[in-house]
């Protein structure tokens, strides 16, 4: 290898994290120079456009055509040093220029000095038809972001949003270097959006026979005076639901739209990251959308405000203490059993009956998720999204937990992150005080929840409580000569579970009714 040939090279990894797919936004990062000291200069090009988002509601799928008008590009360090060079320019306001009717005038303002002493470019605003001008003309409106913030604001390409000139597509001067000589480094370019940077262009329902399809058709059949305000607020509600599912767990005012990773690796040592190219599919509570569409005339705004409060309350309901030590599949299986055995919202259920289908650890997790609530006289089981399937509703609640959102962000930043590193990051973030030897176990468990992974074996691994009512049934079936396999089916347990009860902590209850003697004799005859 010659002296002028770099030992390390930049490689582009086209990873676009779910749920947004690759078509709605792209980031291209490439090296423009290789330096002898191991530094590389990066140029960045960010483009935004229109895409289709599919909302699964449980009341019919809704296709939403969204337009990203503006985004914030953040180059984030990941095991490397990140610095700025001297060529850093920004021409756009971080928010749309407000309309204000003023006398037509031309205004020019000299650029200000950056920290490095370079003069930033002159900004011009020309009034058109009595003027388009920023309401408050100060430095914050010019849209410069200091290089130390490591942020670039990309403005709206549509006419009227740029302060002057044409949309500059490239930025240069970003420098990245390896943090050490042995481990590969990387830079993550994240595209963030705010709510007012997302525009809903079209809302369509795939099947007009669904509940939402019928409701939208009904609204559109009204006169424009009656339908317009309702559909406008409906679009705002859809935008809010989309934004909430993209929202960062740390920065509530920004949602991550897409990201691309750039890896610095030794030649021949690069591991590519597969791109996500599927259509964006998000989930939304169908009953919320239906209530907006069915709002009485004149009550549209009040209905919208109430629904926004409801979805935000649900969004922030996730607790920071959600650290599941039970497999995802097992807890989901328990919740499905409870919702099928007991009527939701029918009042308090006897706790002993609930515990027949629910082990203690799963009960505590469901309680922490707000899906079970202990009240005087019993227990209530909840489904917060009654118009969605039970599984989708369960997963929607899980996603709102702070710990789940935190790990999801880790996966977006590094899809190859190990279970050990996840456990370590959780320990540091939430001050858990775990031993280092436990990082792998805790990280592996919560990753199964973030990915909604699990097996039937995990679900069958639940422990069903032996209650007096079950012992009585057991005694009755054995006395009637019911085969052991049928007894297990009647009690909704496996044959192995039936025998394992003999060794359980409940054997004092069992011996009280003589059940085990009967079971054992039945087994010997079998």
| Cis-peptide, bond into residue 412, ω within 30° of zero | no
Distance CA 225, CA 295 (A): 15
Distance CA 81, CA 253 (A): 27
Question: What pLDDT is stored for residue 88 in this prediction?
Answer: 31
Identify which has the larger pLDDT, 387 or 336.
336
pLDDT for 110 beyond 50: no
Distance CA 90, CA 152 (A): 7
pLDDT for 254 beyond 50: yes
Place of tokens 């009585």: 472
pLDDT for 115 beyond 50: no
Which of 24-28, 277-281, 378-382 reaches the highest mean pLDDT?
378-382
Residue environment code for 295-306, b if the CB has 16+ CB neighbours within 10 A, otherwise e: beeeebeebbee
φ and ψ at 69, to 5 degrees?
-85, -25
pLDDT for 346 beyond 70: no
| Tokens at 164, concatenated | 């002057």
Identify which has the larger pLDDT, 486 or 40.
486
Confidence of residue 1 (pLDDT cuts 50, 70, 90): very low
Q: Where are the domains of the chain?
A: 8-89+168-283, 318-465, 468-525
What is the reported pTM?
A: 0.47
CA-based radius of gyration for the chain: 29
Other CB atoms within a 10 A radius of the CB of residue 314 amount to 18
pLDDT for 51 beyond 60: yes
Spatial contact of 288 and 386, defined as CB atoms under 8 Å apart: no
Question: What pLDDT is stored for residue 433 in this prediction?
Answer: 78
Spatial contact of 163 and 143, defined as CB atoms under 8 Å apart: yes
| Tokens at 469, concatenated | 């009512």
User: Can you name the residues that pair with 138 across neighbouring β-strands?
Assistant: none
Confidence of residue 383 (pLDDT cuts 50, 70, 90): confident
User: Can you name the residues that pair with 198 across neighbouring β-strands?
Assistant: 68
Place of tokens 């980031």: 27
Spatial contact of 192 and 254, defined as CB atoms under 8 Å apart: yes
How is 390-439 classified by DSSP, letter by letter? HHHHHHHHHHTSHHHHHHHHHHHH-TT--HHHHHHHHHHHHT----GGGH
Q: How far is CA 304 from CA 55, 229, 231, 365, in A?
A: 19, 11, 11, 32
Choose the weakest-confidence range: 48-57, 286-295, 408-417, 453-462: 453-462
Side-chain half-sphere exposure of 348, counting CA atoms within 13 A: 10
Mean of all residue pLDDT scores within the chain: 62
Q: How far is CA 144 from CA 94, 148, 188, in A?
A: 9, 12, 22
Question: What pLDDT is stored for residue 78 in this prediction?
Answer: 45
- Packing angle, helices 468-479 and 515-525, rounded to 10: 40
Give the DSSP H or E segment for 86: none
Place of tokens 């930043």: 413
Choose the weakest-confidence range: 12-26, 95-109, 353-367: 95-109
Q: How far is CA 436 from CA 187, 422, 423, 426, in A?
A: 28, 12, 9, 12
Distance CA 270, CA 166 (A): 37
pLDDT for 165 beyond 50: no
What order of strands is seen across the sheet that includes strand 25-34?
Answer: 25-34, 40-48, 170-178, 80-84
Distance CA 216, CA 202 (A): 12
Q: For residue 441, how far is the Cα from the chain centroid?
A: 23
* CA angle 142–143–147, rounded 5-degree value: 125
pLDDT for 459 beyond 80: no
* Total count of residues recorded for the chain: 526
Distance CA 262, CA 243 (A): 26
Question: What pLDDT is stored for residue 258 in this prediction?
Answer: 64
**CB-based contacts of 120: which residues, under 8 Å, 6+ apart?**
89, 111, 112, 113, 114, 144
Torsion of Cα atoms, 487 then 492 then 498 then 500, to 10°: 180
If you average pLDDT over residues 99-116, what whole number do you get? 34
If you average pLDDT over residues 107-136, what whole number do you get? 35
Confidence of residue 362 (pLDDT cuts 50, 70, 90): confident
Percent of the chain with pLDDT over 90: 0
Spatial contact of 412 and 256, defined as CB atoms under 8 Å apart: yes
Give the DSSP H or E segment for 259: strand 255-266
Torsion of Cα atoms, 484 then 490 then 493 then 499, to 10°: -30
**CB-based contacts of 284: which residues, under 8 Å, 6+ apart?**
55, 56, 57, 62, 238, 241, 242
pLDDT tens-place string over residues 259-273: 655 554 444 444 443
pLDDT tens-place string over residues 171-204: 344 444 444 444 444 555 666 777 777 888 888 8
Distance CA 451, CA 206 (A): 28
Q: No. of H helices and E strands in the chain? A: 18, 17
């Amino acid at each position: 290898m010659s002296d002028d040939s770099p030992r390390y090279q930049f490689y582009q990894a086209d990873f676009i994290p779910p749920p947004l797919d690759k078509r709605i936004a792209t980031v291209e990062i490439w090296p423009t120079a290789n330096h002898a000291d191991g530094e590389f200069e990066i140029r960045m090009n960010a483009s935004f456009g229109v895409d289709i988002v599919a909302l699964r509601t449980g009341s019919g799928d809704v296709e939403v055509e969204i337009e990203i008008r503006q985004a914030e590009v953040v180059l984030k360090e990941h095991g490397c040093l990140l610095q700025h060079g001297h060529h850093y320019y920004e021409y756009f306001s971080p928010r749309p220029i407000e309309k204000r009717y003023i006398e037509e005038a031309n205004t020019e303002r000299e650029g200000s000095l950056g920290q490095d002493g370079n003069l930033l470019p002159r900004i011009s605003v020309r009034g058109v038809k009595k003027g388009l001008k920023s309401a408050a003309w100060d430095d914050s409106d010019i849209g410069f972001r200091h290089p130390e913030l490591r942020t670039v604001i990309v403005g709206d390409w549509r006419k009227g949003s740029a302060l002057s000139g044409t949309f500059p597509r490239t930025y240069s001067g970003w420098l990245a270097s390896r943090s050490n000589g042995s481990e590969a480094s990387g830079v993550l370019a994240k595209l963030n959006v705010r709510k007012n940077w997302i525009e809903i262009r079209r809302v369509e329902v795939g099947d007009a026979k669904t509940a939402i399809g019928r409701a939208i058709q009904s609204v559109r059949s009204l006169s424009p005076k009656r339908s317009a305000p309702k559909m406008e607020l409906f679009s705002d509600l859809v935008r809010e639901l989309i934004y909430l599912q993209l929202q960062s767990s740390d920065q509530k005012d920004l949602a991550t739209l897409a990201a691309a990773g750039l890896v610095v690796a030794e030649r021949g040592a690069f591991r590519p990251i597969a791109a996500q190219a599927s259509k964006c599919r998000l989930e939304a509570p169908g009953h919320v959308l239906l209530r907006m569409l069915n709002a009485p005339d004149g009550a549209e705004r009040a209905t919208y405000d109430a629904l926004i409060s409801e979805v935000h309350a649900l969004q922030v309901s996730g607790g920071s203490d959600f650290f599941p030590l039970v497999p995802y599949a097992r807890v989901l299986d328990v919740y499905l059993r409870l919702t099928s055995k007991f009527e939701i919202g029918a009042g308090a259920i006897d706790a002993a009956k609930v515990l027949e289908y629910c082990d203690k650890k799963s009960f505590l997790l469901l309680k922490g998720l707000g899906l079970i609530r202990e009240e005087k006289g019993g227990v209530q089981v909840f489904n917060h999204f009654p118009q969605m399937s039970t599984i989708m509703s369960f997963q929607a609640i899980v996603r709102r937990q702070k710990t789940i959102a935190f790990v999801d962000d880790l996966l977006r930043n590094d899809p190859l992150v190990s279970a050990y590193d996840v456990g370590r990051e959780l320990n540091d973030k939430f001050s858990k005080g775990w031993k280092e030897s436990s990082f792998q176990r805790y990280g592996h468990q919560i990753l199964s929840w973030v990915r909604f992974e699990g097996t039937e074996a995990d679900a069958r691994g639940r422990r069903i409580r032996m209650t007096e009512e079950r012992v009585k049934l057991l005694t009755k079936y054995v006395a009637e000569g019911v085969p052991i396999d049928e007894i297990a089916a009647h009690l909704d347990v496996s044959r192995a579970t039936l025998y394992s009860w003999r060794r359980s902590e409940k054997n004092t209850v069992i011996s009280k009714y003589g059940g085990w003697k009967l079971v054992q004799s039945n087994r010997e005859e079998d």
